[in-house]
C-alpha cells in the first residue's frame, strides 16, 4: 500500500504545531550525561512527560478536534477507549471545544489515570478485561448514542503527534537512531512521518512489550496477528490486536523491532529516575530499555529516545523503585 496518503506532510505538521502551541510550548530535549554514560554513547531524551497531561497523546487530541472543527463536524459527544493517556488527550481537547466526552477503560485500569481523566470532565466507564474489550464496548456505545467514536489510530491524530518528532529532529539534527514505543502505533508512525517530512536520515526502531507482541508478530507475518497481553507494567503498550493502517506504515519504514520485558522496563524506569529525576511510566521507559538491550551496537552513535509519558500510579512506581533496594 502507498503510505504517503496516510502520513502528514511537512506543511500538515507545521500547521499542527500552531494548533498544539495554543495550549503548551514545545517540550524540551536534553543530552543527559548520566544516561549517556549508562548507554555508552550520546543519549538525547525528549520530554513528552512535560505536556499538560504528562504524555505525548495530547498533541493528537488537539489536532483531531481542530480538524473536526475545521470541517464543521464537531459532534455533541465523543466516545473512545484507552488505558489512560489517549483518554486524557480526548478529555483535554473535548473540554477545549465544549464537547461531551465518554471514555471506556478496562477494569483494573490505573487509578491515577482514571482520576486524571475525570478531572478533565470525562465520563468514565469501566468495561472489559483488556483494551480490546473496552474498545469494542466504546464502539457499541457510540452507535447506541449516535456519538462520534474516536479511534486510537487516525491520520488526524498522527498530524499532531508528529509535531513532537518534528521538534526533536529539528532540535537535534545529528540524531542517527531513535527508539520509539509502539502501543496502537501513532507515536512510531509519527516519527516516520516527521523523518520523511524533514528528509532526515534517522533510523527508527520500534519497541514493543515482550508481553504484548501483536505489532512485532504482525510485522513479521505481513498481516494482523492477535497476541495475548500479559504486561503488568507497560499499560500504554498493552495492545492485543494491531491496527492495519499503522502496520502499513510501520512495516516498510522501521529499521527493526525490539521486544522488552517488564523487568527490563522496570530497570529503565529506575535508571531514568536516577539519572534525570524524571518519572517514566512503563511505556515511557520502554525506549530506553530497548536501547540498553542493544547497547553493545550503539557506540559512537547519537541516540534519541522519547520519555513518552510519566503517568504511573504512585504505588506502582514505589514498588518499581523499591525492587532495586
Looking at the fold, whether 173 and 292 belong to one and the same domain comes out as yes
- DSSP for 50-111, please give it: GSTTSBTTHHHHHHHHHHHHHTT---SEEEEE-SSHHHHHHHHHHHHTT-EEEEEE-TT--H
Confidence of residue 2 (pLDDT cuts 50, 70, 90): very low
Q: Tens of pLDDT along 285-321?
A: 999 999 999 999 999 999 999 999 999 999 999 999 9
Q: Are 165 and 286 part of one and the same domain?
A: yes
How sure is the predictor about 325, in pLDDT bands with cuts at 50, 70 and 90?
low
Of 149, 177, 199, which closes a domain? 149
- Find the CATH number of the domain harbouring 297: 3.40.50.1100
**DSSP tally for the chain: helices H, then strands E:** 13, 10
Q: E strands within 106-188?
A: 123-126, 148-149, 177-181
What are the pLDDT digits (tens) for 49-73?
999 999 999 999 999 999 999 999 9
pLDDT in tens, 181-235: 999 899 999 999 999 999 999 999 999 999 999 999 999 999 999 998 888 888 8
Q: Which of 119, 149, 179 is the last residue of a domain?
A: 149
Are residues 295 and 241 part of one domain?
yes
User: The domain containing residue 140 runs over which residues?
Assistant: 58-149
21-30, 142-151, 316-325: least confidently modelled range:
316-325
Which pTM value belongs to this model? Answer: 0.95
Count up the domains in the chain and report the number: 2
**Pair 35, 105 in one domain:** no
Q: Are residues 78 and 44 in the same domain?
A: no
- Which of the listed residues 149, 174, 193 is the one where a domain comes to its end? 149
Same domain, 35 and 126: no
Amino acid at each position: 500500500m502507498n503510505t504517503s496518503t496516510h502520513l502528514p506532510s511537512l506543511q500538515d505538521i507545521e500547521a499542527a504545531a500552531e494548533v498544539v502551541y495554543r495550549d503548551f510550548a514545545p517540550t524540551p530535549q536534553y543530552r543527559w550525561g548520566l544516561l549517556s554514560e549508562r548507554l555508552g554513547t550520546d543519549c538525547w531524551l525528549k520530554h513528552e512527560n512535560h505536556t499538560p497531561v504528562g504524555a505525548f497523546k495530547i498533541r493528537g487530541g488537539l489536532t483531531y478536534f481542530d480538524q473536526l472543527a475545521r470541517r464543521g463536524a464537531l459532534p455533541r459527544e465523543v466516545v473512545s477507549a484507552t488505558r489512560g493517556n489517549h483518554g486524557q488527550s480526548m478529555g483535554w481537547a473535548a473540554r477545549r471545544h465544549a464537547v461531551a466526552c465518554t471514555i471506556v477503560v478496562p477494569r483494573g485500569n490505573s487509578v491515577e489515570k482514571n482520576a486524571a481523566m475525570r478531572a478533565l470532565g470525562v465520563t468514565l466507564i469501566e468495561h472489559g478485561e483488556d483494551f480490546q474489550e473496552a474498545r469494542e464496548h466504546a464502539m457499541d456505545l457510540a452507535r447506541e448514542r449516535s456519538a462520534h467514536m474516536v479511534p486510537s489510530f487516525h491520520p488526524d491524530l498522527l498530524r499532531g503527534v508528529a509535531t513532537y518528532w518534528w521538534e526533536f529532529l529539528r532540535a537535534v539534527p545529528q540524531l542517527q537512531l531513535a527508539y520509539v514505543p509502539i502501543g496502537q502505533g501513532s507515536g512510531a508512525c509519527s516519527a516516520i512521518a516527521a523523518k520523511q517530512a524533514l528528509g532526515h536520515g534517522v533510523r527508527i526502531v520500534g519497541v514493543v512489550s515482550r508481553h504484548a507482541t501483536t505489532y512485532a508478530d504482525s510485522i513479521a507475518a505481513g498481516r494482523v496477528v492477535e497476541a495475548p497481553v500479559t504486561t503488568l507494567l507497560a499499560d500504554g503498550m498493552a495492545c492485543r490486536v494491531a491496527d492495519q493502517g499503522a502496520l502499513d506504515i510501520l512495516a516498510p519504514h522501521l529499521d527493526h523491532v525490539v521486544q522488552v520485558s517488564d523487568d527490563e522496563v522496570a530497570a529503565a524506569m529506575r535508571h531514568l529516575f536516577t539519572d534525570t529525576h524524571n518519572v517514566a511510566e512503563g511505556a515511557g521507559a520502554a525506549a530506553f530499555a530497548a536501547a540498553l538491550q542493544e547497547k553493545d551496537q550503539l557506540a559512537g552513535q547519537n541516540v534519541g529516545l522519547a520519555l513518552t509519558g510519566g503517568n504511573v500510579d504512585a504505588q506502582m512506581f514505589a514498588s518499581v523503585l523499591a525492587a532495586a533496594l
